[in-house]
């Protein structure tokens, strides 16, 4: 029985920062060599970050990526480095370089290019071709594959096994969504059953615009058992030893008798083949929100954020996530009460800020509100007050937040949820003004669930109990409540989820027992407000179908799908 010691280098690359990413790779490779590893496996496109999107259309970018890979190869030693990069030797490919002893021993080009959901790889890359090439790593035949290659039955992995591979390395930039880790494990076990090979699965970690990558890199043995797994949502160097049964008769490979023994590494024996227990469902989703927020802020050169805190549930949860992501010293709450704000809303917002230990200020909007009404009075003469006057208040708040952003260098976090975004229950250029929408992929009922979860985890009411129990309201007119404009959220959210995430039509929803009048009203709102969503800031995706990269509906659209 031979053993292969491999380091799964779960790093957080920054898209486009080739120099910094390369330095991160050098550091991880040095640690892997010190640990006596035969190989160090990095994520998909670790050199460039993922997804690089239209950057790959720049010839200089592709050239710089290839140059960085050659520099990594020149620095490689006895530990074989398997690193994802963009290759442009022949067109443009999503590639994995295999480097050892100062040279680039081979380059694999990804064969299966995903072009669904958030993926657009056929827009950018040419698929690899030809017979599979195996690499001798410590006398073991290793196949190298990239992400989607593992999701295809009878695909590249099967071909590698047929060619004699004993272990298959799989480089990944697999974005997180609810249920993804279980789905991923199921697919990998199918490939193990198909190939009979151990699989070393190295995944990217970190936030990139709307996507968040969970890491959770792992190793499956030839029986499909997890023998090592990295913790999710943080950088980690996972050291694993893979046992490979002696198999004789495979040509062009080192004889099993010549396989080298493992070098000793007494400094880290306790870290070999560790299996992280993972996280519970809410913990997992919450950590995704926190990591995505932190990386969006920091990777875009900001240190501090501003949040308009109203005393409502949405802004309260956003403030808590921001504080967990960045620290209390870097979060600034802004209370902007109007003539319609209740006393308890201001008190609840102030209590939240005190509980979190964040800086806050109060800027009443009434002077600006009255000034706008006075300016508009000649144009509105003789017309009853309606939504136009209500939305002025929200737009003043957006203007104030952006003024503070300009003056203090804060990145503004918006506070809208998926339910509101779905039906357009927001003010364009008002509460949608900002840079990042932290909870844009959470239904309203989920917002309440996460607020209670976070209080429970803290062992105290970070979010005041009154925020959790009072009826939600935009407070743009006297005694306003959400349920005056919308159905209760326990009715609305399931309907929206079926329509938005399930792609059902009004006729389908009616067949499921939903009231046809309600269905037509709500789905009509969803369809008519596509133009708003196109103008909303990006935000973290945690479901398999978020607004933005996943769900792409035409703005001009008359299809209803009814009877």
User: pLDDT digits over 294-342, tens only?
Assistant: 999 999 999 999 999 999 999 999 999 999 999 999 999 999 998 877 7
Residue 477 confidence (pLDDT) = 63
Instruction: Report whether pLDDT(279) > 80.
Output: yes
Q: How far apart are CA 473 and CA 420, in angstroms?
A: 12
Given 432, 451, 482, the domain boundary residue is: 482
The answer on 95 and 30 residing in a single domain is yes
- In this structure, of 240-254, 403-417, 436-450, the range with the lowest mean pLDDT score is 240-254
Span 410-435, mean pLDDT?
Answer: 95
Q: How far apart are CA 287 and CA 176, in angstroms?
A: 11
Number of domains in the chain: 2
User: pLDDT digits over 21-38, tens only?
Assistant: 999 999 999 999 999 999
Residue 253 confidence (pLDDT) = 41
Residue whose pair of structure tokens reads 């050659």 in the numeric block: 70
Given 439, 466, 482, the domain boundary residue is: 482
Residue 91 confidence (pLDDT) = 80
Which is more confident, 239 or 482? 239
Span 113-125, mean pLDDT?
Answer: 92
Tell me, yes or no, whether 544 lies in a domain: no
Q: How many CB atoms lie within 10 A of CB 557?
A: 10
Tell me, yes or no, whether 267 lies in a domain: no
Tell me, yes or no, whether 344 lies in a domain: yes
CA nearest neighbour of 438 among 412, 415, 454, 405? 415
Q: How far apart are CA 180 and CA 213, in angstroms?
A: 11
CA nearest neighbour of 81 among 67, 100, 95? 100
Name 159's Cβ contacts closer than 8 Å, sequence gap at least 6. 131, 132
pTM of the model: 0.93
Name 367's Cβ contacts closer than 8 Å, sequence gap at least 6. none
The answer on 163 and 57 residing in a single domain is yes
The answer on 308 and 171 residing in a single domain is no
Instruction: Report whether pLDDT(111) > 70.
Output: yes
Residue 470 confidence (pLDDT) = 86
- In this structure, of 9-23, 342-356, 398-412, the range with the lowest mean pLDDT score is 342-356
Out of 92, 110, 121, 210, which one is annotated catalytic?
A: 110
Please confirm, yes or no, whether 110 is among the known catalytic residues. Answer: yes
Instruction: Give me the chain's average pLDDT, please.
Output: 92
**Domain enclosing residue 95, as ranges:** 2-251
**219 has which bridge partners?**
200, 228
User: pLDDT digits over 436-486, tens only?
Assistant: 999 999 999 999 999 999 999 999 999 999 999 988 776 666 777 777 778
Q: How many CB atoms lie within 10 A of CB 380?
A: 14
Residue 481 confidence (pLDDT) = 73
The answer on 286 and 221 residing in a single domain is no
The long-range contacts involving 280-286, CB below 8 angstroms and separated by at least 24 positions, are 281/178, 282/449, 282/450, 282/453, 284/181, 284/214, 284/232, 285/178, 285/450, 285/542, 286/321, 286/450, 286/453, 286/454
Q: How many CB atoms lie within 10 A of CB 162?
A: 10
Rounded to whole angstroms, the maximal C-alpha distance in the chain is 95
Residue 563 confidence (pLDDT) = 60
Domain holding 318: CATH number?
A: 3.40.50.620
Cite the beta strand spans of 249-382 per DSSP E. Answer: 305-308, 331-335, 359-362
Given 419, 453, 482, the domain boundary residue is: 482
**10 has which bridge partners?**
236
Q: How far apart are CA 22 and CA 266, in angstroms?
A: 28
In degrees, rounded to 5, the angle at the alpha carbon of residue 176 between the alpha carbons of residues 171 and 177 is: 145
The answer on 331 and 237 residing in a single domain is no
In degrees, rounded to 5, the angle at the alpha carbon of residue 299 between the alpha carbons of residues 294 and 300 is: 105
The answer on 288 and 247 residing in a single domain is no
Tell me, yes or no, whether 135 lies in a domain: yes
The answer on 237 and 304 residing in a single domain is no
Instruction: Report whether pLDDT(265) > 60.
Output: no
The answer on 98 and 244 residing in a single domain is yes
Out of 9, 37, 147, 353, which one is annotated catalytic?
A: 147
The answer on 211 and 318 residing in a single domain is no
Please confirm, yes or no, whether 147 is among the known catalytic residues. Answer: yes
* Residue 150 contacts residue 203 (beta carbons within 8 Å): no
Sheet containing strand 198-203, strands side by side: 135-137, 140-146, 167-172, 198-203, 218-220, 226-229
Residue 338 confidence (pLDDT) = 87
The answer on 173 and 49 residing in a single domain is yes
Tell me, yes or no, whether 247 lies in a domain: yes
Percent of the chain with pLDDT over 70: 94
Residue 255 confidence (pLDDT) = 36
Residue 447 confidence (pLDDT) = 97
Please confirm, yes or no, whether 465 is among the known catalytic residues. Answer: no
Residue 475 confidence (pLDDT) = 62
Which is more confident, 400 or 472? 400
CA nearest neighbour of 94 among 167, 144, 152? 144
CA 105 to chain centre: 33
Residue 354 confidence (pLDDT) = 97
Tokens of 362: 């109060």
Tell me, yes or no, whether 72 lies in a domain: yes
> Residue 265 — left, alpha, or beta (φ > 0 → left; ψ -120 to 50 → alpha)?
beta
* Strand, coil or helix: 528: helix
Span 46-55, mean pLDDT?
Answer: 97
Domain holding 169: CATH number?
A: 3.60.110.10
Tell me, yes or no, whether 431 lies in a domain: yes
Tell me, yes or no, whether 537 lies in a domain: no
* Strand, coil or helix: 444: helix
The answer on 355 and 209 residing in a single domain is no
Percent of the chain with pLDDT over 90: 86
**6: DSSP letter:** E
Out of 33, 44, 112, 148, which one is annotated catalytic?
A: 44
Confidence band of 355 (pLDDT split at 50, 70, 90): very high
The answer on 312 and 190 residing in a single domain is no
């Amino acid at each position: 029985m031979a053993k292969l010691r491999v380091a799964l280098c779960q790093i957080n690359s920054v898209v486009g920062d080739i120099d910094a990413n390369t330095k991160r790779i050098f550091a991880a490779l040095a640690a892997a060599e010190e640990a006596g590893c035969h190989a160090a496996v990095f994520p998909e496109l670790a050199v460039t970050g993922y997804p690089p999107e239209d950057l790959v259309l720049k010839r200089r970018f592709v050239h710089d990526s290839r140059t960085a890979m050659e520099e990594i190869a020149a620095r490689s030693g006895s530990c074989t480095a398997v690193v994802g990069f963009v290759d442009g030797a022949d067109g443009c490919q999503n590639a994995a370089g295999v480097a050892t002893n100062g040279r680039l021993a081979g380059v694999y080009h990804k064969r299966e290019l995903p072009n669904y959901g958030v993926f657009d790889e056929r827009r950018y890359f040419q698929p690899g071709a030809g017979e599979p090439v195996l690499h001798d790593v410590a006398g073991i035949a290793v196949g190298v594959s990239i992400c989607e290659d593992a999701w295809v039955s009878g695909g590249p992995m099967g071909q590698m096994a047929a060619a004699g591979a004993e272990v298959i390395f799989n480089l990944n930039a697999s974005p997180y969504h609810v249920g993804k880790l279980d789905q991923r494990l199921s697919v990998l076990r199918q490939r193990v059953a198909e190939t009979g090979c151990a699989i070393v699965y190295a995944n990217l970690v970190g936030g990139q615009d709307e996507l968040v990558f969970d890491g959770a890199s792992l190793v499956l043995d030839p029986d499909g058992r997890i023998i090592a797994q990295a913790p999710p949502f943080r950088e980690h160097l996972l050291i694993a030893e893979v046992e490979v049964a002696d198999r004789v008769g495979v040509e062009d490979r080192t004889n099993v008798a010549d396989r080298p023994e493992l070098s000793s590494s007494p400094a880290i024996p306790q870290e070999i083949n560790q299996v992280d227990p993972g996280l519970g469902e809410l913990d997992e989703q919450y950590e995704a929100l926190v990591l995505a927020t932190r990386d969006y802020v920091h990777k875009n050169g900001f240190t501090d954020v501003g949040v308009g805190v109203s005393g409502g549930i949405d802004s309260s949860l956003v403030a808590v996530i921001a504080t967990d992501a960045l620290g209390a010293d870097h979060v600034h709450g802004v209370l902007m009460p109007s003539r319609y704000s209740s006393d308890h809303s201001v008190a609840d917002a102030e209590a939240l800020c005190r509980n979190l230990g964040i800086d806050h200020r109060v800027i009443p909007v009434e002077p600006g509100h009255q000034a706008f009404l006075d300016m508009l009075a000649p144009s509105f003469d003789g017309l009853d007050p309606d939504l136009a006057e209500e939305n002025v208040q929200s737009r003043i708040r957006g203007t104030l937040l952006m003024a503070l952003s300009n003056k203090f260098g804060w990145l503004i976090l918006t506070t809208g949820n998926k339910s509101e975004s779905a039906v357009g229950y927001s003010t364009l250029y008002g509460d949608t003004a900002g840079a990042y929408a932290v909870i844009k992929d959470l239904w309203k009922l989920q917002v309440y669930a996460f607020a209670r979860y976070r209080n429970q985890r803290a062992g105290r009411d970070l979010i005041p109990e009154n925020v959790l129990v009072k009826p939600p309201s935009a407070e743009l007119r006297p005694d306003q409540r959400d349920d005056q404009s919308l159905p209760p959220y326990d009715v609305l959210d399931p309907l929206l989820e079926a329509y938005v995430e399930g792609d059902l039509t009004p006729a389908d929803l009616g067949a499921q027992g939903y009231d046809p009048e309600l269905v037509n009203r709500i789905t009509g709102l969803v369809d008519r407000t596509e133009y708003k969503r196109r103008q909303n800031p990006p935000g973290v995706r945690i479901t398999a179908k978020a607004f933005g990269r996943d769900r792409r509906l035409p703005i001009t659209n008359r299809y209803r799908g009814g009877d």
